[in-house]
Amino acid sequence: MTLGLTRVDLPKGAATREAFGDALAEAGGADDRIVVVDGDVNNSTYTYKFKDKYPERFFNVGIAESNLIGVAAGLAGAGKIPVASSFSVFLLANAYDQIRMGVAFPNQNVKLVGTHAGISIGEDGPSQMGIEDVSLACSLPGFTVIVPADGPSTAAATAAMLQREGPTFLRCGRPSVPVVYPGAADVHIGKANTLRDGDDVTIIANGIMVAMALDAAEGLAEEGVEARVVDMHTVKPIDQNAIELAARETRGIVVAEEHLAYGGLGSTVAMVVAEHRPTPMAFVNIGDTYATSGTPEELLTKFGLTPDAILDAAKRVLKD
Amino acid sequence: MPQTRPAERSELPGIAQRLRRHIVTSTTAAGSGHPSTSLSMVELLTVLYFGGVLRYDPSDPQDPHRDRFILSKGHGAPGLYAVLAEAGYFPTEELSTLRRLGSPLEGHPNMCRLPGVEASTGSLGQGLSIGLGHALAGRLDGSGYRVYVMLGDGESEEGQVWEAFMYAGNHGLDNLTAIIDHNGYQQTDAVDQVQPLEPLTEKLASFGWAARTIDGHSLDEVIEAFEWARTTKGRPQAIVARTTKGKGVSLLESAPGKWHGKPLPPDEEAKALEEIGAAI
Ligand SMILES: Cc1ncc(C[n+]2csc(CCOP(=O)(O)OP(=O)(O)O)c2C)c(N)n1
Ligand SMILES: [Mg+2]
């Protein structure tokens, strides 16, 4: 039996990029070291909200991402807290060596915020989709990598990121997403949130897949399977403890992410599981391919990012 | 050997009109996309494909001797698709599938899915380097093909563009022509507010390019400029085309900063098509 949830209809609500923009504008009032560097997309990333309040601390360097990152590195070197923001693919993929040499290697306090991550941007198509970004960011020594699930947790993650020293990548999406943290969210970087308890199987997810994981857990419960749902908002440093507990207390782990198969959350969780407590696993992700144009819902369905896909994966690991 | 496929000079305004209609209707039907970006380059595309400039053969899109046209500002895809359809690469009816699941007419050009698309673009700043590679290969092989690359003015803020300008100029690649669609606006603001490019032709000249500024909506000036480019020897050529973002649709022209990346709403479509005029 399946849930019939082969499609996901994304309900109206805050997009994570918008929650980030609001939280950033608010944080700007509390700490005047915060500066923003933009690459001509502030109306897409919502950093225009910061710009409107603090124009003197806002720099649009134009469509020039390598320069953007270098400028952010210099601002950090001079004691500022720069937030470098663009589409995640243009930040991570276009300016990777600048990030490596300017931010990661010298351990500069630069906050990279990439929006329009994943295939759920829809019609603009593959060139605009950040689907390698988590892998690229996780590869950088010293980087913290955060993929929040919804508006409230993005706001909390933004605040936590700005208060914490060190290079960070925060990943946001384009579409409205369901709220999984009604009210204020508690986000402690490096510490996963268990949103639903269960001792049959664990679903570890982040980003838009968290809401789908909760849907899948509902469906599993109807079939008598109790699924634990863990929001692994921080991919790096990963919460080893939460993974070990899941491996010990449940019979298998499903990892769901809106990212390519290699180098993202799935790989990171698998490494912990393999080393500390081997257990059956299954992976829900985009696989090893670029997407196409289509509506966000169509693409999520076509590339297998649905509650049903998670549900099926959970059944697979339980069969093992 | 692929040939140019020129239309009569008198037919060019009608072709430009058809391209504009396709751009408006395809993006409005899609509900997203970049009509204003596409409308500013219509005369340039019209002359490239129908003014005796490009040598191409839609029945053999991979002919090694074809001239290349690369749309570096990939978000102008609706304009590229319109001219490729009119040129015969695929039926114009397919334009209505723009950005739909399964359609090869993706939001940004994908060379693996649509014949006639020479480079997959959409991340700005990269097309000129790809064009440079084609130009170098053409010189290496002794093939006489020419390479044309269309860039945005905002896009020209990317460092890679100037890396390519520098190399092409230093190596005298006269089989390469850059066209800068200088419509004065980028995504968030006017180019002059973000990063003024002026003096642009002087900069390009100092990089070793033959460069001139033209009115990018005057068919005669565009025809003349491509003839000048083709006959310029020893240096790559840059055509800086002064254009209007959203050209032909007054609503889009009136606030280019606001309309970037936005299709006309369905209730504005009829008026826009009336302004553009009926295809001849
Ligand atoms: C590397 C990169 N950075 C940012 C963007 C987002 N973006 C898409 S279009 C655009 C503005 C382009 O302006 P311009 O080159 O002047 O083109 P126009 O639309 O005016 O023709 C931006 C910033 C992108 N596509 N690629
Ligand atoms: Mg422009």
Give the model's pLDDT for residue A307.
97
Contact A108, A73 (CB under 8 A): yes
Residue A134: closest CA among A111, A118, A119, A157: A118
Residue A289 near chain B (CB below 8 Å) = no
- The answer to whether residue A3 scores a pLDDT higher than 70 is no
Angle CA B126–B127–B128, to nearest 5: 100
What pLDDT is stored for residue A184 in this prediction?
A: 83
Calculate the alpha carbon distances from A119 to A153, A206, A236, B40, B168 in Å: 21, 14, 22, 29, 36
Q: Is B37 among the domain residues?
A: yes
How far is the CA of A173 from the CAs of A36, B95, B226, in angstroms?
Answer: 19, 29, 43
Confidence at A182, pLDDT banded by 50, 70, 90: confident
Strand partners, B58: none
Q: Where are the alpha helices (DSSP H) in chain A?
A: 16-30, 42-45, 48-53, 65-77, 88-92, 96-99, 133-138, 151-163, 209-222, 240-249, 265-276, 296-302, 307-319
Which A residues, 211 through 240, put their C-beta within 8 Å of a C-beta on chain B?
none
Cβ within 8 Å, pair A292-B123: no
Interval A310-320: pLDDT, tens? 999 999 999 97
Q: Which amino acid is at A92?
A: L
Cβ neighbours of A123 in B, within 8 Å: 30-33, 99, 107
Report d(CA B40, CA B57) in Å as an integer.
Answer: 25
Per-residue confidence (pLDDT) for residue A6, from 0 to 100: 40
Residue A86 phi/psi, 5-degree rounding, is: -160, -170
Residue A260, beta-bridge partner list = A287
For residue A65, indicate whether it is catalytic.
yes
B107 to chain A: which residues are within 8 Å by CB? 123-125, 127-128, 293
| Least Cα separation, residue A129 to chain B (angstroms) | 10
Radius of gyration of chain A (CA): 19
Does B222 map to a domain? Answer: yes
DSSP-derived pairing of the beta strands A111-115 and A81-87: parallel
CB nearest to B107's CB, from A43, A44, A293: A293
Alpha carbons A10 and B263: distance in angstroms, whole number = 22
Q: Is residue B7 domain-resident?
A: no
Q: Which of A18, A56, A65, A222 is catalytic?
A: A65
Q: What are the tens digits of pLDDT across the range A187-228?
A: 999 999 999 999 999 999 999 999 999 999 999 999 999 999
Confidence at residue B279, expressed as pLDDT on a 0 to 100 scale = 54
How many helices (H) and strands (E) chain A has is answered by 13, 12
Distance A41 CA to ligand 1 centre (A): 8
Does the pLDDT at position A7 exceed 60?
no
**A235-246: pLDDT as tens digits:** 999 999 999 999
3-state secondary structure of B87: helix
Buried b (16+ CB within 10 A) or exposed e, A122-141: bbbbbbbbbbbbbbbbbebe
Ligand closest to CA B107: 1
Residue B210's CATH number? 3.40.50.970
B170 in contact with A, Cβ within 8 Å = no
Give A112's strand partners. Answer: A84, A169
In this prediction, residue A258 has a pLDDT band, given cuts at 50, 70 and 90, of very high
Q: Going residue by residue through chain B (280 aa), what tens digit of pLDDT does each one get?
A: 899 999 999 999 999 999 999 999 999 999 999 999 999 999 999 999 999 999 999 999 999 999 999 999 999 999 999 999 999 999 999 999 999 999 999 999 999 999 999 999 999 999 999 999 999 999 999 999 999 999 999 999 999 999 999 999 999 999 999 999 999 999 999 999 999 999 999 999 999 999 999 999 999 999 999 999 999 999 999 999 999 999 999 999 999 999 999 999 999 999 999 999 975 4
Give the percent of chain A with pLDDT over 90. Answer: 94
Q: What domains can you pick out in chain A, each with its CATH number?
A: 12-178 (3.40.50.970), 193-319 (3.40.50.920)
Q: How many CB atoms lie within 10 A of CB A316?
A: 15
The span from the CA of A285 to the CA of A288, in Å, is: 9
Mean pLDDT taken over chain A: 95
Three-state helix/strand/coil letters over B231-257:
HCCCCCEEEEEECCCCCCCHHHHHCHH
- When mean pLDDT is compared across A4-13, A120-129, B5-14, B142-151, the lowest value belongs to A4-13
Q: What is the pLDDT of residue A183?
A: 82
Is residue B86 included in any domain, yes or no?
yes
What type of residue sits at position A129?
M
> Is this prediction's ipTM beyond 0.90?
yes
Residue A2 has pLDDT above 70, yes or no: no
A134-161: pLDDT as tens digits: 999 999 999 999 999 999 999 999 999 9
**Number of compact structural domains in chain B:** 1
Domain that holds residue B57: 12-276
A120 token code pair: 């759920």
The whole-angstrom separation of Cα B11 and Cα A156 is 60
Tokens of A90: 């243009």
Pair of tokens at residue B188: 């968030």
In a domain, B49, yes or no: yes
- Ligand 1 pocket check: which of A40, A61, A67, A127 to mutate, most ligand atoms within 8 Å of Cβ? A40
First-to-final CA distance of chain A:
18
Which CA distances in Å does A96 have to A60, A92, A104, A148, B82? Answer: 19, 5, 10, 22, 35
A293 touches chain B (CB under 8 A): yes
Name residues whose C-beta falls within 8 Å of residue B127's C-beta, 6 or more positions apart in sequence. Answer: B70, B71, B72, B73, B74, B119, B121, B149, B150, B151
Whether residue A62 and residue B101 make contact (CB cut-off 8 A), yes or no, is: no
Which residue is closest to A298 within chain B, CA to CA? B101
pLDDT at B35: 98
